[in-house]
C-alpha cells in the first residue's frame, strides 16, 4: 500500500509517496515553498501543486506544525492565525476529491519512529524530542500516541538572564545559532530541557530527532539526562512517513 505523505514546515512543504509496508519513500521528495502569509487559500494552492506533481488520486497524510483535532487545525503559531479553525481535510476532499488525515508534525515524526524506527517495540513511556528551529515533542505509551503535547512551550528560566521564557526559545536549535553557542554550551541548555521532562514524567526512553541529530557525535555524549537516550532513525523524512502512517490508521478500516 502506498500513501502520499506531506510535511508542512515554516519554510517548505515537502511531499513523497510512502511504501507503508516498509516505511520508506518511493522515489524523490517534492518540495514547494511555504507561502507567506500562509493564509488558507495560499496553503491550499501549495498542497494542490504537490497533488498535481504526483498525479495523486489515493490517500493523503499531512503533518502540520500546530495542534490538530479531528482533522481540524486548532492553532498555527508559526504560520498564520487565519488557519485556526480550518477544516483542511474537508476542503481537500471538496476541491480535489482526496481523502486525507492530519496530525501534528512532531507527533508524525514520533509515529514514524515508533512504527518503523528507533522506537519500534519500545514499551512504557517514550518521549520523542525533535530539535529543529524550536523543540517538538511526541509522547507514546506502549507505542500508542498521546497527541498534541507541546513541551517546547513550557516556561523555563534562562540561564544568563534569569527570565522565564518558552523552553524552545532558549534551548532549541535556533537558539544555538542566535546566541552563537558552541556545542558544549548548547548541550548544557538542552540538558535543562531534558531534565525537566524527566522530573515531571519519568520516561522510560527519550528519542532525539530532527535535522540536528545528523551531528549527534558533537553533542550526544555531552547531554545530562536521567533517561536512556537514543537517536531517531529518520531525519528529514520522519514527518512524511509518520503522516502517511497516521492516514493509514485513520482512513483504512481495520480488517
The model's pTM? 0.87
Q: Residue 254: what pLDDT? A: 63
Query: Cα separation of 136 and 101, whole Å?
Result: 20
Q: What is the mean pLDDT of residues 137-160?
A: 90
pLDDT digits (tens, 9 = 90+) for 203-234: 999 999 887 888 999 999 999 999 999 999 88
Beta-carbon neighbour count of residue 31 at 10 Å? 16
Same fold, 2-104 and 118-231: yes
Q: Residue 234: what pLDDT? A: 85
| Ramachandran category for residue 148: left, alpha or beta (phi over 0 → left; psi -120 to 50 → alpha) | left
Residue 206 φ/ψ, nearest 5 degrees: -130, 125
pLDDT at 133 over 80: no
Query: Cα separation of 234 and 40, whole Å?
Result: 29
Domain positions in the chain are: 2-104, 118-231
pLDDT digits (tens, 9 = 90+) for 53-112: 999 999 999 999 889 998 999 998 878 899 999 999 999 999 999 999 999 998 999 999
Spatial contact of 172 and 134, defined as CB atoms under 8 Å apart? yes
pLDDT at 156 over 60: yes
Query: Cα separation of 154 and 151, whole Å?
Result: 6
pLDDT digits (tens, 9 = 90+) for 10-34: 889 999 999 999 999 999 999 999 9
- Cell 527519550 locates to 206
Q: Which CATH number does the domain 2-104 belong to among 3.30.420.40, 3.40.50.10880, 3.30.2130.10, 3.30.70.260?
A: 3.30.420.40
Average pLDDT score over the chain: 92
- Cell 498521546 locates to 146
Spatial contact of 26 and 16, defined as CB atoms under 8 Å apart? yes
Query: Cα separation of 150 and 130, whole Å?
Result: 11
Report CA 140 to chain centroid distance, whole Å.
Answer: 14
The CATH code of the domain at 118-231 is: 3.30.420.40
Amino acid at each position: 500500500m502506498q500513501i502520499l505523505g506531506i510535511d508542512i514546515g515554516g519554510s517548505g512543504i515537502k511531499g513523497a509517496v510512502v511504501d507503508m509496508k516498509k516505511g520508506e519513500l518511493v522515489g524523490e521528495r517534492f518540495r514547494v515553498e511555504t507561502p507567506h502569509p500562509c493564509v488558507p487559500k495560499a496553503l491550499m494552492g501549495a498542497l494542490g501543486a504537490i497533488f498535481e506533481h504526483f498525479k495523486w488520486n489515493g490517500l493523503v497524510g499531512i503533518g502540520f506544525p500546530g495542534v490538530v483535532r479531528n482533522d481540524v487545525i486548532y492553532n498555527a503559531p508559526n504560520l498564520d492565525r487565519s488557519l485556526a479553525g480550518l477544516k483542511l481535510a474537508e476542503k481537500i476532499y471538496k476541491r480535489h476529491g482526496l481523502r486525507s488525515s492530519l496530525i501534528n508534525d512532531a507527533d508524525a515524526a514520533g509515529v514514524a519512529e515508533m512504527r518503523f524506527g528507533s522506537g519500534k517495540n519500545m514499551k512504557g513511556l517514550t518521549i520523542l524530542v525533535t530539535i529543529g528551529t524550536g523543540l517538538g515533542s511526541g509522547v507514546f505509551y506502549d507505542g500508542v500516541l498521546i497527541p498534541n503535547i507541546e513541551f517546547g512551550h513550557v516556561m523555563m528560566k534562562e540561564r544568563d538572564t534569569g527570565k522565564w521564557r518558552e523552553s524552545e526559545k532558549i534551548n532549541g536549535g535556533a537558539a544555538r545559532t542566535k546566541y552563537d553557542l558552541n556545542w558544549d554550551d548548547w548541550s548544557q541548555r538542552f540538558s535543562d530541557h531534558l531534565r525537566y521532562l524527566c522530573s515531571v514524567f519519568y520516561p522510560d526512553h527519550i528519542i532525539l530527532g530532527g535535522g540536528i541529530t545528523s551531528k549527534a557525535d558533537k553533542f550526544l555524549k555531552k547531554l545530562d539526562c536521567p533517561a536512556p537516550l537514543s537517536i531517531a532513525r529518520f531525519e528529514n523524512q520522519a514527518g512524511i512517513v509518520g503522516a502517511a502512517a497516521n492516514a493509514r490508521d485513520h482512513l483504512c478500516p481495520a480488517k
